[in-house]
Structure 1
Amino acid sequence: MKRIDNKNNLYKTASSLVVSGLILLGINACQGENNNNFISQNSRQNVTNPALSLATQRPLSPKYMCFNVNSVRIESWRDTDLVKNVSLLNPRMLRLPGGEVANYWDWQRGGLIEDTSSLPGGLPQFLRYQARKNTASKLEDFKIGLEATGTSPLFVLNMLTSDLKSQIQMLEKAEKIGIPVEYIELGNEFYFNIKNYNTVFPTPRSYAETANQWITAIKQKFPDVKTSVVGAIPIPQRSGRLQNWNKAILGPVLQNAEAITLHLYWENGLNSSSSTPFTEVEIPIVLGEPFRNWQTLQTDPNFQNIQNKKIWITEYNLRETKPDNQNQEQPKVAGTWAHGLYSAAMSMVFLEDSRVELICNHLLAGHPHFAAVIDKKAPGIPRSFNLSASGSALRLLGDATEEMTSAQKINFPEKYLLKGKNNFEYPSLYGWLFSNAKSQKGIILNLSPQPLKIDVTPLFTQPINYEQISGNPLTSNVNNDLLMNNKGTVSGALSLPPYSITKLSP
């Protein structure tokens, strides 16, 4: 992967942009001929400084920040390095035992089912070998990890290779040993046209009817539990099963379920047929994709038609399609600081829809190209568990949302925008203010190649602490060595470095 060691090539230090009262000044700073991705609207007009604008307040669930756990990758919840780094992310919930893993999970064994004779397609490829040996995630192990990290579980029930009686017994034992039973998902991604899934649920309707039966039985035992059923955002060129999934789900099942589950994996916006390295001119394309894809999602009927129910986004991340016939071992963007900023932006745009109650980033622990916590056994990793670039950005968002009960989008003036894919315009500054009865915290992204300044007094009348992480978007960062961390206290103007995330807290 191409690296640029001269940060001056990225962090252009021409004229700083200034936000006074959260209005951008310094009109000519972004109109240089060498910065065609930074655009300005009505830049020659005189602009007064109106009061800061905040969007309508929305409630914020105390469980908003969650991570999906692939439990066959966790060798021990007693690993102090793992616990330390998971705790740094400050999640409120962990999705257990994971996604596709959950469909083959034997809770009594603490690992995958041993007998696979009833599976016409066998185990998924990534679960066929070393993963089968892992039995370190029994309920007692989960309890140790949950207590050590201060989190609660989102249980994904095994509706594929287990049965209702066994799964209720699992929940009853969990409650008995002190694990809270509050959030439950009814299986994982059954909308895919997979032999194993088609055998148990021949049609979307069959899943809907079975899920309804399970919800009724579970609520008899756990009347206060929140349940979610599998939903889908159809992917073009996929099977009719996927395209028709929500039609069968939205009616009969959501009468009893509190939420519908969605999984969202968005591309990097670059040419998937090319194996060329990630370059500087492509940075604004990548960083604009969370906003462009979010706008597209708003017009999707499958998303619009989810009425009067919460949405749980229990898997999301940047997805990269490898070029056809290319032996590309290293992805273009995944694992870079651009991926970190992408993950933060993606996590934050979900806040714009009040139906979204919780989000689980995929993956908690694994390879740095995908996970928030780097697995110490990942190839080429010289250290034990550590945060990836994506995990570093999400850490600040986890801190900012902790114990907050409401969220408001900060309406920065759309004076300066960035150009992404197909000339899509997205904000250079993007932020949210989080509140509870006693305090406020904020999170702000500077996605531009320019240093910007904001006046924080409209948000905080008293001096405020800040922590910032910034870096070269092109740099793959497996040990955080190449990220810059800056902390301090400010009253008035605060400088936002290029390509940065800033947390504001009392």
Structure 2
Amino acid sequence: MNAHLNIKKAWLFFIGATLLFASCKKEDKLQPSDGGNPPPVVTNPGTPDPDAAITQGFFLNDWQPRHISILGYTDAAIPAGTADATVTIDVQNVITKVSPYVFGNNINTYMTQVVTEPVLMNNIAQLNPKILRAPGGSLADAFFWSAPDGQLPADVPAKFLDAQGNQIDPNYWYGKNTAPWTLSIDNYYKVLQQSNATGMITVNYAYARYGTSQNPVATAAHLAADWVRYDKGKTKFWEIGNENYGIWEAGYRIDKTLNKDGQPELLTGGLYGKHFKIFVDSMRKAATEVGTQIKIAAVLNNTDGTGGGVEIPNWNRDVLGEIGNAADFYVVHNYYSPYQENSTAAAILNTPVTVTKELMDYIINSTAAYPKPIALSEWNIQATGSNQNVSNIAGVHLAMTLGEVIKNKFGEASRFNLANNWLNGDDMGMFNIGDEPGAVKWQPRPAFYYQYYFRQFFGDRMVSTTMDTSTDVLAYGSSFSSGEAGIVLVNKGDAAKIISIKLRNFTAGNRYYYYVLNGGTETVFSRKVFINGKGPSRVSGGPDDFQQITPLSAITANGIKVTVPAYGAVYLLAEGK
């Protein structure tokens, strides 16, 4: 969508464990596990899992049971006073298995060679995204994966045309560029291997439009197929182009005097669809040659674009009318808050519930003839002017969005992005690339910590939650195959709330454990995050030793009750028997 055009045009960017609950060890920590060699599984006795939704499909094929250990805790008092609301978690009422691919992120070619940055690599490993999309937004349509620096194919033009027909510099990117400031495709593969993630690669569709060869579509499809051959199964998921419904994207308007296969000046959904099928044929043939299977996505829009402006009208209708059943899945993007608006915290935090559902409803409706799994391969907020993107509020928004993405049964989701540019606080990057005042290079932003604890405390199944009183607190319930219940409570309001938790169809063990996250008090858009009261030593981010902070804990016999701070979250785990 056009919502992040200016940023992108500037080229912005659980290990088996023994079930153990030990007491009061300050060296702590949580030890979640995906798969591995777990202890005996306690998996929803007597309750069958629901079938995977069409919108999740094969993304759930890699689902694994999760197991968690707590190796220490700090005793905490149960909040005094009457609860503002009671949330009931029905552990046997399973909404969905949790796709391992909804915690993804975008990695970009302008954020160094990455594997040469041990601090960044450690942060990515701790984030445990499971999927990293590359090469990075709009630049994918000017990216030549096999080209050394400066060595382009002979059939690429010296200039692009923008939406108005003006000549602009293409800003081509080179996949074999080994300079320290960029990311080569070979080092991208190393990042995937070292972070235990798979890839989602966006191939250069626009080359099929602006290429000057006799058959630019075949040439571009062949380049994509050669990438599949080179990849040799390292990457499971592929998408053809990036946001090609947008008039900001390379290839929307081409210079017809340079084109040799009679293409129109302006792109349409139908033309993309015709080209898509050629790409698919070439790429699937290549995958067969190297003995692997891949999934290929078509680019869809989150609106019909008929309101005028910067999106091609009726894109989804025309694409699907041409490709029929040819795609394996669809990719969509959404940037939640209004474009370049100095949005308030309330405006930002009111978007996850409504926007996520509206997006899924729209895509289901527009793809009804050819339903497929859905990937939200780029998402974030796009507020500007008050440090919103680098603030604690962005972290609260992340926690809510993850809960809503799971609840609405997306198969995949990747936040945009790992690292970017400071841009006076309008930086969408989860880590400081080195230009944030007062911060150290690769320091995590608040959003990192909100995702880290979500990954730790959310189980392998989402279960039903109900709130008896309307409050600003949202609850997302889950269960672990090892027998625990995990609950995420997010407060989108400006006042703390006491929340009581009742667990149905679940025999609680002796204790519950939790982490409390909230921002600083200097401004609503605080760049700091505090974890169980401990904050950062610098002007932004969280405590450096966050992994050594023990969870707070209390006895379940007295009831489960916690205080959720204003603009904050509680990540809670209840033992099961």
Rounded to whole Å, the distance in 1 between the matches of 2:321 and 2:457 is 37
Matched, 1:286 2:348: yes
Match of 2:269 among 204, 212, 215: 204
Matched, 1:452 2:498: yes
Partner in structure 2 of residue 461 of structure 1: 508
Q: Percent identity?
A: 13
Residue pair 1:157, 1:184 contacting (<8 A) in 2 also: yes
| Distance apart, 1:95 and its partner CA | 0.1
Match of 1:96 among 134, 137, 157: 134
Cα-to-partner distance string for 1:97-130 (whole Å, 9 max, x where unaligned): 12112111122246787565153344467989xx
Residue pair 1:54, 1:410 contacting (<8 A) in 2 also: no
Q: TM-score normalised to the size of structure 2?
A: 0.66
Partner in structure 2 of residue 117 of structure 1: 158
Partner in structure 1 of residue 437 of structure 2: 380
Partner in structure 1 of residue 553 of structure 2: 489
Rounded to whole Å, the distance in 2 between the matches of 1:265 and 1:438 is 36
| Distance apart, 1:298 and its partner CA | 5.8
Residue pair 2:107, 2:135 contacting (<8 A) in 1 also: yes
Partner in structure 2 of residue 423 of structure 1: none
Match of 2:476 among 411, 419, 431: 431
Matching of residues 116-265 of structure 1 within 5 Å: 116-117=157-158, 119-121=160-162, 122-123=168-169, 136-161=182-207, 163-175=220-232, 180-194=234-248, 196-199=251-254, 202-222=267-287, 224-234=293-303, 237-239=307-309, 242-265=312-335
Residue 236 to residue 163, structure 1, CA distance change in 2 (3 Å): closer
Partner in structure 2 of residue 63 of structure 1: 101
Residue pair 2:105, 2:414 contacting (<8 A) in 1 also: yes
Residue pair 1:468, 1:503 contacting (<8 A) in 2 also: yes
Partner in structure 2 of residue 309 of structure 1: 372
Pick which of 481-490 and 163-172 moved more: 481-490
Residue pair 1:154, 1:183 contacting (<8 A) in 2 also: yes
Say which SS state the counterpart of residue 384 (structure 1) adopts. coil
Partner in structure 1 of residue 401 of structure 2: 346
Residue 369 to residue 398, structure 1, CA distance change in 2 (3 Å): farther
Residue pair 1:66, 1:92 contacting (<8 A) in 2 also: yes
Partner in structure 1 of residue 519 of structure 2: 471
Match of 2:382 among 306, 312, 319: 319
Match of 2:541 among 477, 480, 484: 480
Rounded to whole Å, the distance in 2 between the matches of 1:138 and 1:299 is 38
Residue pair 2:246, 2:310 contacting (<8 A) in 1 also: no
Rounded to whole Å, the distance in 2 between the matches of 1:258 and 1:110 is 31
Matched, 1:78 2:116: yes
Residue pair 1:112, 1:132 contacting (<8 A) in 2 also: no
Partner in structure 2 of residue 389 of structure 1: 446
| Distance apart, 1:384 and its partner CA | 1.8
**Between Structure 1 and Structure 2, how many residues are aligned?**
431
Rounded to whole Å, the distance in 2 between the matches of 1:263 and 1:64 is 13
Matched, 1:502 2:570: yes
| Distance apart, 1:237 and its partner CA | 4.5
Residue pair 2:446, 2:542 contacting (<8 A) in 1 also: no
Rounded to whole Å, the distance in 2 between the matches of 1:113 and 1:435 is 51
Cα-to-partner distance string for 1:400-423 (whole Å, 9 max, x where unaligned): 45xx5432342233x1234xxxxx
Residue pair 1:314, 1:359 contacting (<8 A) in 2 also: yes
Residue pair 1:100, 1:189 contacting (<8 A) in 2 also: yes
Partner in structure 1 of residue 455 of structure 2: 398
| Distance apart, 1:261 and its partner CA | 0.9
Unaligned runs of 5+ in 2: 1-78, 163-167, 208-218, 255-262, 529-538
Unaligned runs of 5+ in 1: 1-12, 24-50, 323-329, 419-427
Paired amino acid for 1:220: K
Residue pair 1:313, 1:359 contacting (<8 A) in 2 also: yes
Residue 71 to residue 436, structure 1, CA distance change in 2 (3 Å): farther
Residue 123 to residue 432, structure 1, CA distance change in 2 (3 Å): farther
Say which SS state the counterpart of residue 452 (structure 2) adopts. helix
Residue pair 1:110, 1:137 contacting (<8 A) in 2 also: no
Residue pair 2:396, 2:569 contacting (<8 A) in 1 also: yes
Paired amino acid for 2:508: T
* RMSD (CA atoms): 3.5
